[in-house]
Chain A
C-alpha cells in the first residue's frame, strides 16, 4: 500500500489534488482512498488530505501517520506544521517551492527521506496562466509513487482534461504542457 499525505492551506486545492490522484490510480485498476481531514474551514488555514493506494481492497479508515510520500502544496507550512512527522525513511517529500535547491535542502536538513523540489507555481503560471499548483504536483506524485508510466499518464490526463474542459478545449494544451514539464521538472535534492 502507498500512503500519501498532502499539506496545504484552505483554498489551495489539496483536497482536490487528493481526489484527482485517487481518480488517476483508480483508472489503473487500483483500490483507492482519497479524503480530507476537516478542521475549521477557513481560507488559508492549514489543511491535510490523504490518499491510500493499493492493489487489494483498503479497509482501514484512519488518518495517515506513517506516509510513504508527503506533498507540501505550500512550503510556508513547514514553519508551523511538522509536515514530515512519521514519514518513512525510504519515503519522499515533494515540495512546491520557489526557493533555491540548497535552501530547500536546508529546510529538510533532518529529513532522511528523498526531497523533491518543484516550482509548480511557475509552471502553472507559464503553462496555464494561473497559479494552479495541483496539476503539476499531481504529475510529480504519480511519477514518484510509480503509479503510471509517463505515456500512460499523459494519455490518461489528456482524456480527463478533454472531458473536464469540454466547454473550453483551448485550455487542454496548457494543462498538458504543465504536467509534461512537471513530470521531468522535479529536482531530487
Chain B
C-alpha cells in the first residue's frame, strides 16, 4: 500500500534510506544535506535500522569508509553537498574504478567562491567524469523514487558502479511537498538483497581491491568501466520500467513534456523543470508551440536518444545550472550539442547559464527564454551562450 504524505526532499530521501536499511552509512555534515545523516542517526537510535553509522572527520574519510565497506561486500551509502563532494573527488574516482556500487544522496549546492549555501549543479558537474552514474530529481517524489531504484542499478552484475541521486539544495531539500511513499514490504522486495559476486571478506576466494596498476593493465580497467557505463543504459531503462509498472510513476532517461509539435524547446534538469512545465502550459494556451525536455540521467549520457528528441524543433535552449568556464557554455550545452551534431542538424541552439548560487528561477524567466527562442527560430542573431537572470 502506498501512502499519501508530505515531506521535504531530505525527509523523502531519508525515508527511502530507512527502507533500504544499508549496512554502512559514513557521512560528514554539510548544508543542505546535513539533515539526511541526522535522520539516519535517529533511525538507528530508534532501532528502525541496523545500519553501522560511522561519523567521520571529513568527506574524504566518509567516501574512504564507504569504499572499504563496499569492497568488504556490504551496502554502503553517504550524503553530501558542495565542498563536501569536492573533498571526495579523489575517492569518487577510486569508488568507480574499483567497481563499488556505493549510493550517494547528493543535495546540489554551489561551490565557493563566493561562499554560498544555495543550489546549483557545480558540485556534481565537477564529478561528471568520475565514473559515477548521475540521476537528477525534479522534486521530493523523484528523489525518493530514484533512491529506491539506485541500488538495483548500481549492483546489477553488468554495471557494478556507484550512483549519485541528486536533488536541488533548499529548493527541493527543504521544501515540504506532497509525496506518495511505498510501504516497507514493497520497497524491500523491490530493492532486494545484495549478494556480490566477489568481495574482500570472502574466505573462499581471495581478492585484491585497488592495487597499483601498471600501464599494461590500466587501460583495460578503463575499457571495462566504459562497458559498465554503457550497460547501465539498459539496466536503468529496465529498472525504471519495472518501477513505473509497479507504481504508476513514469521514469526514463529523460522526460519529454509537451514535445508533440514543439518548435521551441528547452532542456534542463531538476527543480526548475517543474517551473518550466508551468510556463510551457501557459505558452501552449497562447498558441506558442513550446515544449520541454527534462534530463533525468546525465551519466550515462543518453546521446543517441536525445538526438531524436527534438523533431520539428527550430530553436532549443539548453539550460546549465553551472558554468564550466570553457568560455562557451556549461557542460549540458556542450554534451547536448555534441549529441545533436550530424544527427539533428538545423536546430538552432543557445546555452543559458542560469540559477547559480540559488538565484531564483521564475516562470517569467522561461517566458523570456521562449521569447528569445522564438526570435531565433525567426532567424534573429543570438549568442551561443549567455547568462540568464543576472544583473549586468
A residues bordering B, Cβ < 8 Å?
A: 19, 22-23, 26, 31-36, 38, 57-63, 65
Contact = CB atoms under 8 A, between A and B. Distances in A.
B363 A62 contact: yes
A22 B362 contact: no
A26 B174 contact: no
Interface stretch (B42-50, B188-196, B216-224, B274-282): B274-282
Which one of B118, B177, B274, B363 has the highest number of Cβ atoms from chain A below 10 Å of its Cβ? B177
Given A22-B6, A32-B178, A33-B177, A61 B172 contact: yes
Given A23-B6, A33-B175, A34-B175, 8 more contacts: A22-B6, A23-B176, A31-B178, A38-B170, A60-B363, A61-B175, A61-B271, A62-B363
A33 B363 CA distance: 16
B6 A36 contact: no
Given A23-B6, A33-B175, A38-B117, A61 B275 contact: yes
Interface of B: 6, 117-118, 139, 168, 170-172, 174-178, 271-272, 274-275, 277-278, 358, 360-363
Contacts of B360: 62-63
Contacts, number: 61
B118 A32 contact: no
A34 B176 contact: yes
Contacts of B278: 59-60
Contact of A59 (B117, B174, B275, B362): B275
A22 B6 CA distance: 8
B176 A33 contact: yes
Closest 4 CB pairs of A and B: A35-B175, A59-B274, A61-B271, A34-B176
A35 B170 CA distance: 8
Nearest to B277: A59
A59 B360 CA distance: 15
A63 B363 CA distance: 10
Contacts of B168: 61
A187 to B, nearest CB: 31
17 contacts: A32-B177, A35-B170, A35-B174, A35-B175, A38-B170, A58-B178, A59-B139, A59-B274, A59-B277, A60-B275, A60-B278, A61-B139, A61-B171, A61-B271, A62-B361, A62-B362, A62-B363
A36 B178 contact: no
A45 to B, nearest CB: 14
Contacts of A62: 275, 360-363
Nearest to A27: B6
Which one of B6, B172, B277, B361 has the highest number of Cβ atoms from chain A below 10 Å of its Cβ? B6
Nearest to B9: A35
B186 to A, nearest CB: 22
Contacts of B170: 35-36, 38
A33 B9 CA distance: 11
Contact of B274 (A23, A36, A38, A60): A60
Nearest to B363: A60
A62 B273 CA distance: 11
A98 B271 CA distance: 40
Contacts of A57: 178
A60 B360 CA distance: 11
Which one of A22, A31, A38 has the highest number of Cβ atoms from chain B below 10 Å of its Cβ? A38
Contacts of A36: 170, 174
Nearest to B358: A38
B174 to A, nearest CB: 6
A38 B32 CA distance: 11
A59 B177 CA distance: 10
A32 B174 CA distance: 13
A68 to B, nearest CB: 16
Given A60-B274, A61-B271, A38 B177 contact: no
Contacts of A61: 139, 168, 171-172, 175, 271-272, 274-275, 361
Given A32-B6, A61-B171, A63-B360, A22 B176 contact: yes
A62 B275 CA distance: 7
A26 B363 contact: no
A23 B176 CA distance: 9
A26 B275 CA distance: 21
Nearest to B168: A61
A26 B6 contact: yes
B272 A32 contact: no
A123 B340 CA distance: 64
B174 A38 contact: yes
Given A32-B6, A38-B117, A38-B170, A58 B361 contact: no
Contacts of B362: 62-63, 65
A63 B272 CA distance: 12
B274 A19 contact: no
Which one of A33, A57, A61 has the highest number of Cβ atoms from chain B below 10 Å of its Cβ? A61
Nearest to A52: B177
